[in-house]
Amino acid sequence: MNQLARSLAQKTLSICLLVGMSLSVATAAEPAPQVAEQITRFSRLLSLEDPQLLIDKPWAVIETGPSNAPKLLEGWVVDQDTDQIQLLDWQGDLRRLRFPSDGLQRPALVRLLNGKLDVASLEPSDYVVAWEYREIDFAQRSREFLQHLKQRDRNAITIQTLLDTARYTFAAWIQDDREHALELFDQLEQKQQTFLDIRGVPHEALVELDPFLDWFFAAELRTRSVLMTRNGHPFGEIAHLWLRMAMLPDDLFHEDVKKLVAGYQLLVGEEGTVPELSSREIAALSEQEQVDYWMYHLRNYVSMPTLLMRNVRKEVNPALELKKLGDAAIPTLIEHMTDMRPTRCQSRYIRYRHMHVWPLRYGDCCVTIFEDMTKHQIFDREAKTHHPTYDGVAAECQAKAQAWWDAELVRRRQMP
Q: What is the pLDDT of residues 138-167, one digit of tens each?
A: 999 999 999 999 999 988 999 899 999 999
Domain boundary among 136, 164, 189: 136
The pLDDT tens digits of the residues spanning 94-111 come to 899 999 988 889 989 988
The mean per-residue pLDDT over the stretch 216-233 comes to 83
* Residue % of the chain over a pLDDT of 90: 49
Answer with the residue of higher pLDDT: 16 or 104.
Answer: 104
Q: What is the pLDDT of residue 143?
A: 97
Question: Is 200 a residue whose pLDDT tops 90?
Answer: no
What CATH code is carried by the domain that includes residue 125? 2.30.30
Model confidence band, residue 178 (pLDDT cutoffs 50, 70, 90): very high
Q: What is the pLDDT of residue 2?
A: 46
The pLDDT tens digits of the residues spanning 27-39 come to 445 667 888 899 9
Q: What is the pLDDT of residue 17?
A: 41
| CA pair distance 337, 161, nearest whole angstrom | 40
**289 and 409, same structural domain?**
yes
Question: Is 274 a residue whose pLDDT tops 80?
Answer: yes
The mean per-residue pLDDT over the stretch 125-134 comes to 90
**130 and 144, same structural domain?**
no
Identify whether 276 is part of a domain.
Answer: no
Domain boundary among 170, 200, 230: 200
Model confidence band, residue 404 (pLDDT cutoffs 50, 70, 90): very high
| pTM exceeds 0.75 | no
**Domain extent for 259:** 213-270
Q: Measuring CA to CA, which residue among 34, 128, 114 is closest to residue 85?
A: 128
Identify whether 247 is part of a domain.
Answer: yes
Q: What is the pLDDT of residue 26?
A: 39
Model confidence band, residue 229 (pLDDT cutoffs 50, 70, 90): confident
**385 and 295, same structural domain?**
yes
Q: How many residues does the chain have?
A: 416
The mean per-residue pLDDT over the stretch 60-75 comes to 93
Question: Is 286 a residue whose pLDDT tops 80?
Answer: yes
Cβ-based neighbours of 116, under 8 Å, separated by 6 or more: none
Cβ-based neighbours of 110, under 8 Å, separated by 6 or more: 117, 118, 121
**229 and 309, same structural domain?**
no
- State the Cα torsion 13-19-23-24 to the nearest 10°: 50
**241 and 187, same structural domain?**
no
> How many independent structural domains does the chain possess?
4
Model confidence band, residue 309 (pLDDT cutoffs 50, 70, 90): low
Question: Is 247 a residue whose pLDDT tops 70?
Answer: yes
Identify whether 305 is part of a domain.
Answer: yes
The mean per-residue pLDDT over the stretch 192-218 comes to 84
Question: Is 225 a residue whose pLDDT tops 90?
Answer: no
For the chain, report the end-to-end CA distance as a whole number of angstroms: 123
What does the mean pLDDT of the chain come to? 84
Identify whether 30 is part of a domain.
Answer: no
The mean per-residue pLDDT over the stretch 76-100 comes to 91
Identify whether 13 is part of a domain.
Answer: no
Identify whether 34 is part of a domain.
Answer: no
Identify whether 367 is part of a domain.
Answer: yes
**106 and 70, same structural domain?**
yes
Sort 91 into a burial class: Cβ within 10 Å, 0-12 / 13-18 / 19+: middle
| CA pair distance 137, 247, nearest whole angstrom | 31
Question: Is 20 a residue whose pLDDT tops 70?
Answer: no
**177 and 119, same structural domain?**
no
Could you write out the DSSP letters of every residue in 207-245?
SSHHHHHHHHHHHHHHHHHHHHHHTT--HHHHHHHHHHH
Report which DSSP code applies to 56.
Answer: T
Q: What is the pLDDT of residue 123?
A: 79
**403 and 308, same structural domain?**
yes
Model confidence band, residue 23 (pLDDT cutoffs 50, 70, 90): very low
What Cα–Cα distance (Å) separates residue 205 from each residue in 51, 202, 254? Answer: 27, 9, 13
Q: Measuring CA to CA, which residue among 105, 194, 205 is closest to residue 152?
A: 194
**363 and 310, same structural domain?**
yes
Cβ-based neighbours of 139, under 8 Å, separated by 6 or more: 172, 175, 177, 180
Question: Is 263 a residue whose pLDDT tops 90?
Answer: yes
**410 and 294, same structural domain?**
yes
| CA pair distance 279, 277, nearest whole angstrom | 7
Question: Is 328 a residue whose pLDDT tops 90?
Answer: yes
**79 and 184, same structural domain?**
no
Identify whether 66 is part of a domain.
Answer: yes
Question: Is 191 a residue whose pLDDT tops 80?
Answer: yes
No. of H helices and E strands in the chain? Answer: 15, 7
Report which DSSP code applies to 274.
Answer: S
Question: Is 18 a residue whose pLDDT tops 80?
Answer: no
Model confidence band, residue 182 (pLDDT cutoffs 50, 70, 90): very high
Domain boundary among 270, 298, 318: 270
**175 and 129, same structural domain?**
no
Q: Give the distance, in angstroms, between the CA of residue 14 and the centroid of all CA atoms in the same chain.
A: 57
